[in-house]
Amino acid sequence: MQYIKEHKQFIYLNLLTSGRLNEYLASVDEQAEDMFSRLVREYAERKGVTEQLKAENQILWVQKMNNIRACVREVVEREVIYL
């Protein structure tokens, strides 16, 4: 909400006055969560980050997953949130 309020004021005011702001924000949130979950799974598969790796080397698994999540967070923010 803060982003559209500051950077897309016309859209913000339009949604606010029409009573659809919460609906819009919920929709964006749902899209972002779905995309985040899907991309984390896809990136982990491509990078070979498996449950077996988790069982064998937890620290390496955590490092790789943190890296994947950070990359995916950037993609989701760019593609869904900060349009």
Q: pLDDT tens, 69-78? A: 999 999 999 9
Placement of tokens 């609906």 in the chain: 23
Give the residue, 73 or 81, on which the prediction is more confident: 73
Q: pLDDT tens, 11-61? A: 999 999 999 999 999 999 999 999 999 999 999 999 999 999 999 999 999
Burial class (CB in 10 A: 0-12, 13-18, 19+), 77: middle
Distance CA 13, CA 19 (A): 10
| Selection from 41, 45, 44, 3 nearest residue 25 by Cα | 3
Residue 83 has pLDDT above 80, yes or no: no
Instruction: Give the mean model confidence (pLDDT) for residues 61-67.
Output: 98
